[in-house]
Every structure is written in C-alpha cells, then in structure tokens.
Amino acid sequence: MRRSVFFCAVCLCATALMAGGKITPLNVKTGLWESTSTTTMNGALGVPPELLAQMTPEQKARYEAAMKHMANGAPRARTYKNCLTEKQLKEDPFKDKEQTGDMKCHETVIRSTGSDIEVRESCSEGTSSGEAHMTFHASSPEHVNGTGEITATMGGRTMHSTIKIDSKWQGATCPAGTH
C-alpha cells in the first residue's frame, strides 16, 4: 500500500512532527542524516477488482510475483540520506503528503517529548485500509532509533510489516540534491 512506502521514507522527518503547536519536536541536530531502515513483510496485498479488470494476464502474473518476493518474511535493509532542516522541525511533514483518489488519512500523536514521539496513522480508500504505529527515540541530538508496525489490506488480502530505523547525524551541511 502506498502508505507503507511513505512510512519507510519518512524516517527522520517523522521525528519532527508538528501539528498545531501541540507537538514538541525531538531535540536533534539539523543537517545531513544517514538512515538504515529494515523492513520485514508477511502476507500480500491483493489487487482491487476494478484494477484487476484492467490488467493483462502478464501484468497480473508480474504483480503476484512481485508481491510474493516482497512479502516473504525476509528482512530487507535500505540505507539512504536525508537533509533535515530547521523548517522541517517546526512543521507537520504530513501536510505536504500527496493525497490521491479518495484516500482519507488521520494521524494522531500519542506522545511527544524532546526525546520521544509516538504516532498512529489510519488510512482508508474504498475497500483498502491501512494502520501504522510508529515510535521514535532520540538517544542524543545525533542519533535516533525508530520502530513501527504497519498493517494494510487491499483486494481482500492483508500484509503486515515491521520496520526498524536507525538514523545518525552526518554533518551540518547537506550536499546538493539531498532532500
């Protein structure tokens, strides 16, 4: 589901949630951060009937093979770099999130301090839905760990994912092209 991809990408930016001034941003440094996310997925998402009707047999087979490969329960690690700005620490990163179709999402910040933040998100569109629960802990201004659980249902099938994120501050400046 598109939302589970979003949670993987959110990494350090999610640690800076600001919603209506009620959230305390994490006490972390701005600049270049390197993050490693390890995701484990079990189950597979189905294809909504309206989309399935438009797919060729070859497309259906490719989709099923991709889902089977992705959701085999084996951990997948990905390392990437993000640039965290002062502005991001003061704004809600969900506000610019791309909304497509009739997808409706609701975010709730459960707990927020200078060292910890816990967030829940629920999304739904037609018969598809997703739930995510994420927690982040800043052990220092240069190190953040996060964990999350995501459940998504689409096309009558459900996928469960867990994610672990380890982010480390790399420096005060960001190379050109780093987002």
**What pLDDT, on a 0 to 100 scale, did the predictor assign at position 131?**
95
Position with higher pLDDT, 54 vs 71: 54
Q: Where are the domains of the chain?
A: 2-67+77-171
Residues 13, 142 contacting (CB under 8 angstroms): no
pLDDT at 123 over 60: yes
Position with higher pLDDT, 73 vs 95: 73
Mean pLDDT estimate for the chain: 80
Classified as helix, coil or strand, 113 is coil
Dihedral of the alpha carbons of 90, 95, 178, 170, in degrees to the nearest 10? 40
Tracing tokens 């996310």 back to the chain, one arrives at: 37
By CB atoms closer than 10 A (0-12, 13-18, 19+), residue 149 is: middle
Assign 97 a pLDDT band (cuts: 50, 70, 90): low
Position with higher pLDDT, 168 vs 14: 168
- Alpha-carbon distance of 76 to 41, in angstroms, equals 9
What number is the average pLDDT over the span 105-134? 90
Q: Percentage of the chain with pLDDT > 70?
A: 81
Question: At residue 87, what are phi and psi to the nearest 5 degrees?
Answer: -60, -40
**What pLDDT, on a 0 to 100 scale, did the predictor assign at position 143?**
97
**What pLDDT, on a 0 to 100 scale, did the predictor assign at position 25?**
85
Position with higher pLDDT, 16 vs 74: 74
Classified as helix, coil or strand, 72 is strand
Helices (H), 53-149: 57-70, 86-90
The tens digit of pLDDT for each residue in 1-26 reads 333 333 333 333 343 343 344 678 88
- Alpha-carbon distance of 8 to 80, in angstroms, equals 11
The tens digit of pLDDT for each residue in 30-56 reads 999 999 999 999 888 877 777 878 899
